[in-house]
Amino acid sequence: MTQDELKQAVAKAAFDYVESKLEDDMILGVGTGSTANFFIEELGKISDRLEGTVASSEETARRLKSHNIPVFDLNSAGQIAIYVDGADESNAHLQLIKGGGAALTREKILAAASKEFVCIADASKMVGVLGEFPLPVEIIPMARSYVGREIVKLGGDPVYREGCVTDNGNHILDVYNLDILDPRQLERDLNQITGVVTNGLFAQRGADILLLGTADGVETRRAEPLS
């Protein structure tokens, strides 16, 4: 199976999961990226049965609306029942790296505001130790050099993502060469740097369920407990 076919398979599995739990007044959170886009296509089939969604990016909002799916502002939506989104990496504890599509801040807000976070990914995203994928950090533009120097002190090699402006009007540093042995601690340390909006580690609030697309089918994984 190609990577896109695996992404399609997990998107369909997430759709089946959401449909099985669908209730009146239920608000869904919808993520950003190619895997989330396949999920949006599935969701379009039941647009008339959906109370509404909250989108993690302007691009996702546009796609949802093109399928006649109502999109609400989070402030008027209240708690989200289920948030479905992809990831750039996951470990066995379902701690994630996200932000390859530069939507990490809104994605993190939706994950925090949701009862349940269902992550959808193809098997290539599963890793032993997070950090092979460069960790995205959203920063206030004027703080770029300062934040970069502070990240070097933490052992990372930050690279400015040229030409990228987030939906919040900010910039992204992609941090290479991090061996992320304690994702929760690094998530906190990075967020302590003045000028950082947030970083792409989803460790304090990781996923509740991972639907992983493999050559043998879609596996449902739950977080292995932290020792």
Catalytic residue positions, numbered: 107
CA distances from 37 to 42, 60, 67 (A): 9, 8, 11
Decide whether 98 or 171 has the Cβ nearer to ligand 5RP: 98
Stretch that binds ligand 5RP, among 58-66, 72-80, 92-100, 217-225 (CB under 6 A): 92-100
Could you tell me how many residues make up the chain? 227
Considering only 6, 15, 90, 99, the residue that binds ligand 5RP (CB under 6 A) is 99
Sheet holding 171-176, edge to edge: 157-160, 171-176, 135-139, 196-199
Query: What CA–CA distance (Å, rounded) separates 55 from 84?
Result: 10
Closest approach of ligand 5RP to the CB of residue 12, in Å: 14
Is residue 88 near ligand 5RP by the rule CB under 6 A?
A: yes
Is residue 197 near ligand 5RP by the rule CB under 6 A?
A: no
- Reading the block at residue 175, the tokens are 């941090």
Considering only 34, 191, 204, 214, the residue that binds ligand 5RP (CB under 6 A) is 34
**Do 63 and 69 form a contact (C-beta atoms < 8 A)?**
no
Instruction: Write out the residues near ligand 5RP by the rule CB under 6 A.
Output: 31-35, 85-88, 98-104, 107
